[in-house]
Structure 1
Amino acid sequence: MKISVNGEAISPEVIQREVQNYRQKNLGANEKEAFDAVSSQMVDWTLIRQVATEKGPEVSAEEIEAGFERLCRSHGGREQFFQRFGLSEDRVDEVKLDVERNCRITKFLDELSKDVSAPAEDTVVAYYKEHKSEFVHPEKVHSMHIVKHPQDEASEQAAAAELTNIRQRLLAGEDFMTVANETSECNDTSPDLGEFARGQMVPEFELVVFSMQVGEISPVFKTQFGLHIATVTEKTAAAPMSLADCRARIEEILQHDLKNDAIGRWVDAEKERAEIEVSAE
């Protein structure tokens, strides 16, 4: 396998690794399809990097430091970043050099697409109509719970028995919040969990509460946090979002596409002037 852009060769090992990654992410893609996709992307980004390095905007020391700090934070902090990538602190200058290079590329791409205008109103409306099913206010529930945190099998059995008795009190009509404040091991958090959509709680909890009716008292059930009894005080059905609700998101999507189109046109023109060699052999 060979990819060369303006005399800069990409190692066959890197190409092969990216081809394998592509096939893992795109099941069913054969070797040729994977190589074609990978080589196209590698050529594009090598061209962008080459020109950005030669002609791109300067990057200040403050921008490099800020970019380095963001990079570390995204991996849990400076120490975790160096550990995760097997790097020692004496290689910090290498890391900052990569940060500078990436900052320069980002600023260069911003320059290429800075004159892209906002999407037209009819384009926004058409996108909304075509993708209406993607813009939905999710189903939500308002839930309260009582929780016990057993530490071993024996205490779990005792907690389950206690919660079963508590459930009988609730079924007999006692106020859930009053009983929860009296019996729940919520520590410093309220038994009232508020309103939430799917994906905000652990799956075992969501499976129970999203299947319940308003006012229903759940059986005792288990999650990674302990044993629970839950109730639902309010349910809000999923509902389509209005254009006003999702306009900003649609404009962001369309603006991103327009910028990518502008960058793509620049890359296509640059390819005409570049010396590019690509071979799957």
Structure 2
Amino acid sequence: MPTPRLLLRVRAAVLGAALLSAFAVTAAEPAPAKSAAIELFPDLPVVKGKGFEIKASELERAFMEYRANQAARGQAAIPEAQRREIEDKLLARMIVTRILVSKARPDDKAKGEVAGNKAYADLRQRAGTDESFKRQVESMGMTTESLKSQLIERGVSEEVFSREVKNKIAIPDADVAKYYTDNPARFEQPEKVRISLILKLTVDPSLLRVPNAKLDLPEEKKKANRAEIEKLLARAQMGEDFTKLVLEGSDDPDKKANNGEYTFPRGAMSPEFEQACFALKPNEISGIVVTKLGYQVIKLHEKIPAKKTEFELVKARIREQLQQQEAEKQMPGYFEKLKAEAEVKILRAVPPK
């Protein structure tokens, strides 16, 4: 399977780095609305290759999605003078995506569908609610249906790249051992805490990824949540089962999956939350900790000392990393080879200088 960092590089090459945080741009999904340009001019091909073509409407739609994504992220409007440059980059990535998908075998398609569906489910879960998810997707000029299709297409593209390039790269054992020896700091694990927590929100989680949104809940709701967590804390201090209290009263959307339990390393938490966690002794319960998300009560299960990860536990990951570094070097040449084999012809007029 492709490694996470490699997937990001492939996605950047295939889909456009500026779109990664807002999912992807491809050329095969129906648009939610047509622009004036699509309505007024003939829908002629802008690219032709063996077995495929990309029409002007598809490029126009990709640009519209890109522009909507930029706006959703609070970016300034795209100057008209930059449009051609952006369209050229989008078109280049659309071409590679089309070719990669056309080379997919049944197993590539099956794995890509699994990866795409998982990516879709993860995005949906992070959004909090169906309503919030739909709003975020539509703010970027997409629909949830087209998003899922694009994520699956992206997954298929990644599988083809891994099969044809990454998986053919062999890394000698000596190179793996040398990397471990030469980079000791990379394998130091910081001290960690394993905790359970009860969360009562003071912000609307459905708006966390909406630019410039007013996150704070109404004061009445904040006061009600403060009163609720005070009651939950009192019950915890009286000896009630902490996991039961988590499941009963926490606003954490993941509580059913993990019973409110998390393991955090130093440096990965907000200062006030980290300080409270590391100040506790095992089985001790904190007071109410106030963070940007809301009110939290923490129970410490254990502190895990800092240590260096043993070579045997990381050698497979090191090999993957070295393999992916070499695959990244080969990526530009591979994509040029794909376009040459597909006899790609760009039919767009060259703008006057």
TM-score normalised by L of structure 1: 0.54
The number of aligned residues is: 247
Identical residues among aligned pairs (%): 17
The alpha carbon displacement at 1:121 in A equals 1.8
Tell me the SS of whatever aligns to 1:188: helix
In the alignment, is residue 113 of structure 1 matched against residue 113 of structure 2?
Answer: no
Check conservation: 1:144, 1:232, Cα contact below 8 A: yes
In the alignment, is residue 49 of structure 1 matched against residue 97 of structure 2?
Answer: yes
Tell me the SS of whatever aligns to 1:85: helix
Please show how residues 204-219 of structure 1 align to structure 2 within 5 Å: 204-210=272-278, 212=279
Pick the aligned partner of 2:121 from 73, 77, 83. Answer: 73
Amino acid aligned to 2:264: A
Pick the aligned partner of 1:255 from 323, 333, 341. Answer: 323
Pick the aligned partner of 1:14 from 63, 69, 81. Answer: 63
State how far apart, in whole Å, the 1-side matches of 2:177 and 2:339 are: 35
The alpha carbon displacement at 1:139 in A equals 0.6
State how far apart, in whole Å, the 1-side matches of 2:276 and 2:96 are: 51
The alpha carbon displacement at 1:124 in A equals 1.6
Residue 192 of structure 2 aligns with which residue? 140
Please show how residues 1-281 of structure 1 align to structure 2 within 5 Å: 8=54, 10-11=59-60, 14=63, 17=66, 42=90, 44-52=92-100, 54=102, 56-57=103-104, 63=110, 69-70=117-118, 72-76=120-124, 85-86=137-138, 98=150, 101-102=153-154, 104-113=156-165, 116-141=168-193, 182-183=238-239, 186=242, 188=244, 196-198=263-265, 204-210=272-278, 212=279, 220-223=287-290, 235-270=303-338, 274-275=344-345
C-alpha change, 1:40 and 1:219, in structure 2 (3 Å) is same
Q: 1:103-131, CA deviations, whole angstroms, 9 ceiling, x for partnerless residues?
A: 55344324422651331123223332444
Amino acid aligned to 2:104: P
Amino acid aligned to 1:265: G
Tell me the SS of whatever aligns to 1:73: helix
Check conservation: 2:277, 2:300, Cα contact below 8 A: yes
Q: Which has the larger radius of gyration?
A: 1
Amino acid aligned to 2:124: G
Q: 1:190-221, CA deviations, whole angstroms, 9 ceiling, x for partnerless residues?
A: 9xx988333888864432132x3758988844
C-alpha change, 1:203 and 1:40, in structure 2 (3 Å) is farther
Structure 2 segments unaligned to the other structure (5+ residues): 1-45, 75-80, 201-220, 247-259
Q: 1:36-77, CA deviations, whole angstroms, 9 ceiling, x for partnerless residues?
A: 8x67854652332242355x13559x9487577546523438
Check conservation: 2:190, 2:305, Cα contact below 8 A: yes
CA RMSD of the aligned region, Å? 5.9
| Bigger relative CO (Cα 8 Å, ≥ 6 apart) | 1
Check conservation: 1:58, 1:104, Cα contact below 8 A: no
Amino acid aligned to 1:76: R
Which shows bigger deviation, 123-132 or 195-204?
195-204
State how far apart, in whole Å, the 1-side matches of 2:328 and 2:288 are: 49
TM-score normalised by L of structure 2: 0.46
C-alpha change, 1:207 and 1:50, in structure 2 (3 Å) is same
The alpha carbon displacement at 1:248 in A equals 1.9
